[in-house]
Amino acid sequence: MQNIGEIMDNHVLWMALLACAIAQLFKVVVELVQNGKMNLQALVATGGMPSAHSAFVAALAVGVGQTKGWASPEFAIAFVFAIIVMYDAAGVRQAAGLQARILNQIIDEFFQEKHHLSQDRLKELLGHTPIQVIAGLGVGIAVSWIASFSY
């Protein structure tokens, strides 16, 4: 039970989670501005503006740097982890989303001819554009920086 108490007192973890939640809330606002309607599914959706993954790992890395020191091995690990996650969000996952879009086009064209295969569509919004990743990075840094005034 003591471990749970220590987790609950982990300020860096809570700031990273808060940054992720704020980024997800921003997605609802962006959807509202772009489409003129409230889309609460954006709260749990992957992809979109800003990248919650980037906000999460950026806040984590900055929080570790603030608490353990910018020259610490812990910050180095968190920094490398953040770079990998952000690269993956803008690279591999973005490419997977583009492939899903192309496969969905193929399926749409294929079924215009009345074939008897599955018509299930693939999720296309998987990754992020570099701008979305940078915006998420900004959210994460801002949340950690603002939170640093409270500890």
Domain residue limits, the chain = 2-91+127-150
Confidence of residue 118 (pLDDT cuts 50, 70, 90): low
- Top pLDDT among 17 and 126 is at 17
Confidence of residue 80 (pLDDT cuts 50, 70, 90): very high
pTM for the structure as a whole: 0.73
Using alpha carbons only, what angle is made at residue 72 by residues 87 and 16, rounded to the nearest 5 degrees? 50
Please check whether residue 54 is in contact with residue 89, taking contact to mean a CB–CB distance below 8 angstroms.
Answer: yes
Please check whether residue 35 is in contact with residue 116, taking contact to mean a CB–CB distance below 8 angstroms.
Answer: no
> What average pLDDT does this structure show over 83-104?
77
% of the chain residues with pLDDT over 70: 84
Q: Give the least confident one: 8-17, 77-86, 102-111, 131-140.
A: 102-111
Instruction: With a cut of 90, say whether residue 59 has pLDDT above it.
Output: yes
pLDDT digits (tens, 9 = 90+) for 99-116: 777 777 777 777 676 666
Rounded Cα distance, 124 and 147, in Å:
35
Tokens of 112: 């215009």
